[in-house]
């Protein structure tokens, strides 16, 4: 049990927790939650500790502490849903944060639910009925969870993304998601019921929308998918399989070439799709309004990989 390290209070307001948590592992996670277990296992889940704070005259407050393999995995769980108001859990009180969309928040609160990313820990604190007292207790528990834990950086893969492409396209960093599993990808942006990108726990991936900012009255978004594999061979095989499954009616470009000049665009019903293999990375853009935009988004981000020295 890790509650002692977190200084999880025995009592908060009129709520009290038991001495020991319910411990959930990969062996019994599907008994604890119906349907969502695969999402947590897709983030290198270690174990979950559950505390039910009870009160004689108030509805319960549920605390779930998800201990993950790395901070990237914990961040990934938060990035599945950016709903709620960003809050700051530092200091003596939790307040709504005015963080920039270019800087993803570490805690979000809405309708009695607080979600927190704190290093290798992802936490959910939920009041079954939101009241002023339960909100105060939920935020106090969030501060206790975050206290004395280091502020881990966001996944390195995010730093590769260009914040803006030309004068037309702006990255929506507040809507990006980090993941490793195709089941997680399908919950964000559905591609196929098969693992057509050969994703596994050794891969890292980001999907993020680029917003077309020229026309404020008609917002358009193109989705950028960036996947990092263990090596070039894995990336090449994955891209070949993706093309054969997702674009079977189109002639395949030469994916043995991983130079920056290799660029493969395709016109689909929902816009232009393009992909690029570079070193051990695959970059794919979906739903672009024109081929030029698709190429610009791809090339900007691949250039960042080149600068990184991959």
Q: Which domains does the chain have, with CATH numbers?
A: 3-146 (no CATH), 156-308 (3.40.1000)
Q: What is the mean predicted confidence (pLDDT) over 283-296? A: 96
Average pLDDT, stretch 19-48?
93
**pLDDT (tens digit, 9 = 90+) per residue, 108-165?**
999 999 999 999 999 999 999 999 999 999 999 999 999 988 889 999 999 999 999 9
Q: Specify the pTM.
A: 0.91
The per-residue pLDDT of the chain, averaged, comes to 90
Tens digit of pLDDT for each residue in 75-86?
Answer: 999 999 999 999
* N-to-C CA span, the chain: 40
State residue 100's pLDDT score: 42
């Amino acid at each position: 049990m890790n509650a002692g390290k977190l200084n999880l209070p025995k009592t908060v307001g009129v709520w009290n927790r038991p001495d020991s948590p319910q411990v959930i592992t990969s062996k019994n996670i599907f008994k604890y939650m119906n349907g969502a277990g695969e999402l947590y296992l897709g983030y290198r889940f270690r174990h979950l500790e559950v505390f039910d704070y009870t009160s004689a005259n108030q509805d319960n407050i549920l605390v779930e502490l998800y201990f993950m393999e790395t901070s990237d995995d914990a961040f990934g769980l938060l990035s599945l849903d950016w709903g709620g108001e960003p809050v700051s859990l530092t200091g003596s009180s939790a307040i709504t944060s005015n963080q920039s969309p270019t800087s993803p928040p570490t805690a979000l609160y809405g309708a009695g639910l607080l979600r927190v990313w704190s290093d290798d820990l992802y936490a959910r604190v939920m009041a079954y009925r939101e009241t002023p007292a339960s909100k105060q207790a939920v935020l106090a528990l969030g501060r206790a969870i975050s206290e004395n834990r280091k502020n881990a950086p966001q996944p390195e893969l995010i730093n590769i993304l260009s914040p803006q492409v030309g004068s037309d396209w702006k990255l929506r960093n507040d809507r990006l998601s980090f993941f490793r599993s195709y089941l997680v990808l399908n919950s964000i942006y559905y591609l196929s019921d098969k693992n057509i990108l050969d994703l596994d726990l050794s891969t890292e991936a980001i999907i993020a929308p680029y917003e077309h900012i020229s026309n404020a009255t008609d917002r358009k978004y193109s989705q950028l998918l960036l996947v990092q594999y263990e090596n070039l061979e894995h990336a090449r095989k994955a891209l070949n399989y993706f093309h054969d499954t997702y674009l079977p009616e189109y002639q395949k470009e030469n994916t043995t070439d991983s130079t920056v000049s290799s660029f493969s665009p395709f016109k689909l019903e929902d816009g232009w799709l393009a992909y690029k293999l570079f070193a051990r990375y695959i970059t794919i853009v979906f739903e672009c309004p024109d081929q030029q935009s698709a190429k610009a988004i791809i090339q900007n981000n691949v250039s960042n990989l080149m600068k990184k020295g991959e």
